[in-house]
Amino acid sequence: MTDLFKDKAKDFEANEFVKALSQGIGSTILAKIKLHDAMQVMDFGAGTGLITSQITPHVEKVTAVDVSPAMLELLLAKQDLQNKVETICQDITAQPLDKKFDLIVSAMAMHHVQDTDKMVQSFAEHLKPGAQVALADLDKEDGSFHPAGVEGVYHSGFEREAFQSILERHGFKQIQFVTAHTVNREDKQYPVFLAVATKA
């Protein structure tokens, strides 16, 4: 599989927009989810670990999952994440992991997954009963958020109602949406939602 993020990885965290977005999503997750030191967490589409870094101090272990070896390499190089983070480079919708989690978080990764229904089904299958998801991505937009022709982008954001229906179909309840961050770029606003839900 081609690593579509190989060229972006090197300068990814130098981007002020990326840092602000990750900070906004991370702080909203921390405000909405009760974390504790026995928790096993999956960070789906973990990238270089910008969300993982915010969650790790509060939980037992984070499993950082991504399909980009270049991104995960940078995550692993962070000294403060040593011993508390395991990285796995694979597509869990095609190759599930042999473990269950108390929480799955994801930030701006879901629009890179073609089959949203299968992805949410995979989340449900990787969670313990009563466990939660905290999933952040773009609200439905006009396609201008990414440059034209960029590879690996399958959705121009998501309608909250439609995304809620997918969560419900796969056994999630107590579904809440909040706006975690708003990206302001070239006179346009792109709200980013955080969906929090519990596996029945």
Encode burial over 108-126: b for 16+ CB neighbours within 10 A, e otherwise: bbbbbbeebeebbbbbbeb
Residues contacting 171, CB < 8 A, separation 6+: 124, 199, 200
pLDDT tens column, 167-176: 999 999 999 9
Domain ranges (residues) in the chain: 6-199
pTM (predicted TM-score): 0.93
pLDDT tens column, 72-101: 999 999 988 988 999 999 999 999 999 999
Sheet holding 61-66, edge to edge: 85-89, 61-66, 40-44, 101-107, 127-138, 188-199, 172-185
DSSP label at residue 46: -
pLDDT tens column, 70-79: 999 999 999 8
The CATH number, out of the four listed (3.40.50.2300, 1.10.1040.10, 3.40.50.150, 3.40.50.1980), of the domain defined by the range 6-199: 3.40.50.150
